[in-house]
Structure 1
Amino acid sequence: MSREQDQFELIGRPCRNFNILATAVMTDPLDGREKLVLSNFAAGQTGNLILIDTRSMEAESIELPGDEGAWGLVNWRNEKLVVGTCPNYAYMHALDLKTRTWAEPLQAADEKYFWDMAIGSDGNVYAGTWPGCSLYRYDPALHTLEKLGRASDNGKNLYSRYINGSAPGYILFTGGYDEPFLKAFHLESGTFRDFGTPGFTVREVTDEYICTVQGDRFEFYHPQTLEPLPDTAGWKEKLTVLEAALPNGKSCRAIPLADGRYAGVRGQDLFIADSLDEVPELVRIPTEAPATRIHTLVSDEAGGIWGACGFGQTIFHYDPLTGSAWNSSSVCDSGGEVYGMVFVDGKLYLTAYVGGDHIVYDPAKPWDQLNNRNPQSLRALRPDYIRPEGRSVIGPDGGIWTGWSAKYGTYAGALSRIDPVTLEVDSWSHPIANDQQVAGVAADDRYVYFTTNGGASGLPYRDVICHFGVWEPGKGLVHETRFAAGERPGSAIAAMCAKVFVKAGSAILVFDRARFRFEQSIPVEGGCSWMTAAGPDLLAAFCGSRLLFIDPHSAVVIRTVELPGSVRAATYTATCDLAFAVEEALYRVPSGFLQSVRS
């Protein structure tokens, strides 16, 4: 056995899920049959298209030439599928449906995302971007990609999205998030113009009107002039409603098929219905789910390893004794991913983006998320707080504490607490700074500790003086430390042996609970992405592609292990192993090696 195998071993790729970001319908030129096309995002891997025969339910999977997936998907005349990718490269891919071959990828310079796309009245495909907040035009006949310009003069606006090409001569779209806007791009003149009310999005375009919506407010505009229409009372009833009622009474977006039937996708499942009057049956997407990036890890009381996918709102369980794995359906009605996972008395408590969700799941009972029985969604923090950036920990009071980041376009943070007995959720906005998110959370037998920084959803990182806070349940904030300029903390924070270890800047800072101050510093190269206890007297710090074992009493690094990649999820199991993930791969540092490090 090699030295690396003595230190850690690959035990599997148990996290497998679909994350369908876009859909289309086409008539396949190969067989003349109608196909439902799903654009699947595979976190940490290469995304794929899934073509499903709407009658036989047979599926064909076609891997993208590059990137993890795509929000942008357009069927161009049943000749090509045009795909705009994310989150790394903003590729424009085109699949020839007759030959099933991809054209050479095109790329939008300095962009990461293509968002949703639409065909304009000129037959070209239009797409918005992040972070450049631009509009692009793809010519499917010539296979060329052209930047039409940045859609906003506000440099803090990073998004242009929700593209609609149904208005003759115009491309309509929204953007933000620092300063929301609603714009129209005129195809003939190549110019942008504002129209409507900022913050509204285009709901529907017909020969009679353009409808925009924000919440329960509707506005109507002339489809040629873009001017407001007078006397539109009662026009809301004219809007097309394409929704199917699921067995739990909730609605799901319905996709019209050519033969009058409807299709829909919900998480890992889909349906085909004869009409919108029937309650459709959900079935699993009929192809194998890919292995995807592991975002969070936790151990149950028996040593089983649980985790969450990097995108797609599912969780998994891995049994180290048998090597078997189970993957869930969606854990809640919102999209996104689970950040926080904590076991208390055999139940798994989850916190999730994008709905600010608090969730409880009992593995001993049947799965019934559709009816909100198991897992059960508790009080959510949306719309004010949506991303549990700080993850979740068990506090000294037995509650589950989570650190939050605010809604898109807002710099702010909060703490929340789930009571595992009553399932009530309490929250505290702005625990230290009014304009900083909570980046990391830890706890010991007396306090909850947390850090803040200048991150936000939909906005660029803002350089600020970051904070460290000590929170006593029942009292609130009892201590605050301001970090030096450039000392940016993240989610890497751990509390043990009456000390708190916090990654800040290029070091791990050590807070002494007895003296209420930072007294030591451990320099680290390549930052520190995650820390966790690896036993009662051993701290594991994942720094770049290295694992540092630290004596928590002396705050001295006692052993270093080279890893196959960067780690953002790790847990110490009930069987005294250390489990960690590199992208989709799950590894284990065996208890015997951990014991040798401690000795």
Structure 2
Amino acid sequence: MMVLSIASELVYASVPKAGKPVLSGQPCRNFNILARTSVIDPKDNREKFLLSNYADGETGNIILIDIKTGKGENFPLPIGAGAWGLVNYHNNKIIVGTCTDQAYLHVFDLKKRKWAEPIVSKGESYFWQMGLASDNKIYGGTYPGCILTQYDPATNELKNLGKVSDNPENQYSRPVYCQAPGYVFVWYGFNTKGIKVYHLDSGKLEDFGQPDDVIKEVNTEFIAVQTKTGLAFYDAKTLKPLPTEGYEAKMEKTHIKIQNGEWCSFITLKNGQLAGVRGQDYFITDAPENYSATVNVSLKRIPVEAPPTTIMSITHDDEGKIWGSCGFGQTIFSFDPKTKEYWNSAAVCKNGGEVYGMVFVNKQLHLSAYVGGDLMIYDPKKPWNQLENKNPKLVGTVGPDLIRPEAKSVLGPDGNVWTGWSAKYGIYGGGLSSVNPLTQEVKSWYDPIPEQQLTGITADHEYIYFTTNGHASGLPYNNDIQCHFVVWKPGIGVVKAIPFEKGIALNRALLAMDGLVIFSHKKELSIYDPMKKEITQTIQISDYTNVLVRLKENTLGFFTNDVLTSLNLKTGKMTEVCKVPGEIGAATVLPDGTVYYTCKSKLYCLRQA
């Protein structure tokens, strides 16, 4: 499904004046449904499909969809980008726990259609999944504190029940299971992994199962756990082991197979139908007799307006059209500067996450995406048909060992598209991949610099260049490593690796231009000369930068939190180009020198003087 819109609500300068940036609009709009359930709406006693939407960088919302009429209602949150935590409290209140930056807990009165004052969970950035336990209280997990929270709707009190893991390196407590009367189960990770059980009567938090076990299901009869050797079952009342025979067949069905063999999760409605979400669309369908058979669901667009969301990456095509990706939600968009029309895609692949890398080759757009380590090719001139893996087409994956294309992607000297990666959750490491645009062959190299993720990537006519650092998914920053600037030759591998002192963290700001390679660390720019094979200069700048662009010949542009500055690479002269509204997420420069850059969900245009 594709959506074409005209950004008529914004005022534009039709021909921006040289040297003065103008707002082009907010063309990146999508849904990112992190949780769903159903409610019997007290206003009309009708069942509604309830969705919790995350709007990266903006304000999230909840959506009510009438399962009979398909009509939708939209209710923006008081504050916060959105929620993993979502609980239907007796068809009376909706409890929402938000994530990123600050964890807020929101309470929505269904009958009054009104939000209560937000509750702040101090020190926590994320609320993860939440559940209603048998004591009529709501429990949830968090990041980065790895704690178990308790919310009592009767008193409107939120309690911190403490860290669920003794390992200080563990930051995640997720998910939480509340279906067994008398207990709350919570999984933790990612440095070490395991399960804890919280006893509602005593308030004790105890180990459950063995290290690395993962809960598959909790219900009123049994707890199903995936162990290293297979499934294990425990009695939901006594927590004692059960024989394995017979219980696997009793496990709840949670996924159906839809078109092209893709498995999609669902909830069961009161009338027995199944309801689910796939990217920008939802479905309601009858339950199949055979859950392993394909169900041809009818995907329908979520029936409210998609909010603006943060722009993750941008590039441009040969016609001057801007292309970008959403900060969370696995979609891409295009924006036509001439007409001000924008288009937003459906999900680019079946995995959740976001598109980091975007490179045009032969008029086709190469995409690299988190969380599955997916590599795709999209042809804008052909009809969208992702569901059948035709357009965009998944050409390969570097998962599960590599999952996050942190460094994004670049066109290499060999004509291949190269991407720099971070390793899977709980692992320090990274890798490099290449896609041949003609043959669509995918190759990958794991840990070229051991236990370090790739954070920036660029290329010239001969080499690939990348930087590394100590970040990792699910783990705190590794301060014990030395970050590297690396020169890689296709067909050979690492030809030079320059280590930096401990404590100096390199980032994504890396650019090859006019015979030099420039990269950033702290409040400095380093310049590497490929001919001399050494860093020839380090230049002090006013602030941290994460985005570099080539403004014109021998002129670098770098964005700090409030200004775009040009640097003449020959003379060393710096000049303020223009003020910017905050931290810039991405930028691209058209052949005529026009600069497009992003700040959260907003796209700006600058015609150079």
TM-score of the alignment, normalized to the shorter chain, above 0.5 = yes
Shift of 1:214: 5.8
SS at match of 1:515: coil
Which residue, out of 137, 160, 179, partners 2:173? 160
Indicate whether 1:87 and 2:100 are aligned.
Answer: yes
For residues 262 and 86 of structure 1, the distance between their equivalents in structure 2, rounded to whole angstroms, comes to 27
SS in 1 for 2:328: coil
Matched with 2:305 is 288
Report how many residues are paired. Answer: 590
How far apart, in 1, do the equivalents of 2:555 and 2:227 lie? 52
Q: Is the 8 A contact 1:525 1:544 kept in 2?
A: no
CA drift at 1:92: 0.9
Counterparts in 2 of 1:300-449, with a 5 A limit? 300-432=317-449, 434-449=450-465
Cα shift at 1:215: 8.8
Cα distance in 2 for partners of 1:182, 1:314 equals 34
Q: Does 2:251 match 1:251?
A: no
Hey, what does 1:66 align to over in structure 2?
79
Which residue identity does 1:458 align to in structure 2?
A: G
Secondary structure in structure 2 of the residue aligned to 1:459: coil
CA 148–455 in structure 1, closer or farther in 2 if over 3 Å, else same: same
Please tell me whether the aligned partners of residues 496 and 552 of structure 1 are also in contact (alpha carbons under 8 angstroms).
no
Farther-moved stretch of structure 1 (206-215 vs 220-229): 206-215
- 2:543 maps to what in 1? 526
The counterpart of 2:562, out of the listed 532, 539, 545, is: 545
Give the match for residue 194 of structure 1.
Answer: 207
Rate the CA distance shift 1:215–1:22 in 2: closer, same or farther, 3 A: farther
| Offset from partner CA, 1:366-422 (integer Å, 9 cap, x none) | 111001111011221111110001110011111111110000000001111111111
Mean Cα displacement is larger for which, 199-208 or 120-129?
199-208
Q: Percent identity?
A: 45
* CA shift for structure 1 position 555: 4.3
Alpha-carbon distance between aligned partners in 2 of 1:317 and 1:123, rounded to the nearest angstrom: 47
Correspondence 1:491-570 to 2 at 5 A: 491-570=508-587
Distance 1:413 1:556 in 2: 36
Q: 1:460 aligns with which of 458, 466, 476?
A: 476
Rounded Cα–Cα distance in structure 2 between residues aligned with 1:55 and 1:522: 64
Alpha-carbon offset, residue 525 of structure 1? 2.6
Residue 4 of structure 1 and its aligned partner are, at CA, apart by 8.7
TM-score (norm 1): 0.96
Q: Distance in 2 between matches of 1:173 and 1:45?
A: 30
Determine whether 1:578 maps to 2:595. yes
C-alpha contact 2:370 2:404 (8 A) present in aligned 1? yes
Query: Which moves more between the two structures, 344-353 or 565-574?
Result: 565-574
Q: Corresponding residue for 2:3?
A: none
One-letter amino acid of the counterpart of residue 303, structure 2: P
Following superposition, the deviation at residue 293 of structure 1 comes to 0.5
Quick check: 99-108 or 60-69, which moved more? 99-108
Q: CA-to-partner distance for each residue in 1:10-32, whole Å, 9 max, x for gaps?
A: 11110000000000100011111
Find the residue that maps to 1:82 and give its secondary structure. Answer: strand
SS at match of 2:248: helix
| Paired position in structure 1 for 2:252 | 240
**1:568 Cα deviation (Å)?**
1.6
SS in 1 for 2:249: helix
Task: Find the aligned partners of 1:234 and 1:399 in 2 and give their Cα distance.
Answer: 52
Equivalent residues of 1:541, 1:548 under 8 A apart: yes
Match of 1:76 in 2: 89
Which residue among 109, 112, 128 is the counterpart of 1:96?
109
Q: Distance in 1 between matches of 2:360 and 2:198?
A: 51
Write the distance in 1 (CA, Å) between the matches of 2:345 and 2:223: 40
Structure 2, unmatched stretches of 5+, are 1-12, 290-294
Q: Does 1:144 align with 2:157?
A: yes
Separation in structure 2 between the aligned mates of residue 382 and residue 50 of structure 1, nearest angstrom: 33
1:55 maps to which residue? Answer: 68
Quote the offset at 1:102 in angstroms.
1.3
Q: TM-score, normalised by structure 2?
A: 0.94
Aligned-partner Cα distance in 2 for 1:352–1:445: 26
Is the Cα–Cα contact under 8 Å of residues 299 and 574 in structure 1 kept in the other structure? no
* Alpha-carbon contact 2:562-2:582 (below 8 Å) kept: yes
- Distance in 2, matches of 1:159 and 1:412, equals 19
Q: Relative to 1, partners in 2 of residues 1:389 and 1:361: Cα closer, same or farther, differing over 3 Å? A: same
Does 2:507 match 1:490? yes
The amino acid of 1:255's aligned partner reads I
Per-residue deviation at 1:8? 1.1
User: Structure 2 CA distance, aligned partners of 1:344 and 1:38?
Assistant: 38
Q: Corresponding residue for 2:140?
A: 127
Contact conserved, 2:420 with 2:466, CA < 8 A, in 1?
Answer: yes
Q: Distance in 2 between matches of 1:216 and 1:552?
A: 60
Measure the CA separation in 2 of the matches of 1:214 and 1:271.
33
Tell me by how many angstroms 1:474 deviates. 1.1
Report what 1:480 is aligned to: 497
Change (3 A) 1:219 1:553: farther
User: Structure 1 unaligned runs (5+)?
Assistant: none
Q: Secondary structure at the match of 2:241?
A: coil
Separation in 1 of the partners of 2:362 and 2:571?
Answer: 33
Indicate the larger mover: 363-372 or 216-225.
216-225
How much does 1:575 deviate?
A: 4.2
| 2:179 and 2:220 in contact (8 A); partners too | no
Q: Distance in 2 between matches of 1:240 and 1:94?
A: 29
Q: Which has the higher contact order (CA 8 A, sep 6+)?
A: 2
Q: Distance in 2 between matches of 1:560 and 1:576?
A: 13
Change (3 A) 1:402 1:214: farther
Counterpart contact for 2:384–2:392, Cα < 8 Å: yes
Cα offset, 1:549, TM superposition: 1.2
1:165 corresponds to which letter in structure 2? C
Shift of 1:5: 7.5
Q: CA deviation at 1:569?
A: 0.5
Alignment-mate amino acid for residue 107 of structure 2: A
Aligned-partner residue type, residue 555 of structure 2: L
- Please state whether the residue corresponding to 2:427 is helix, strand or coil: coil
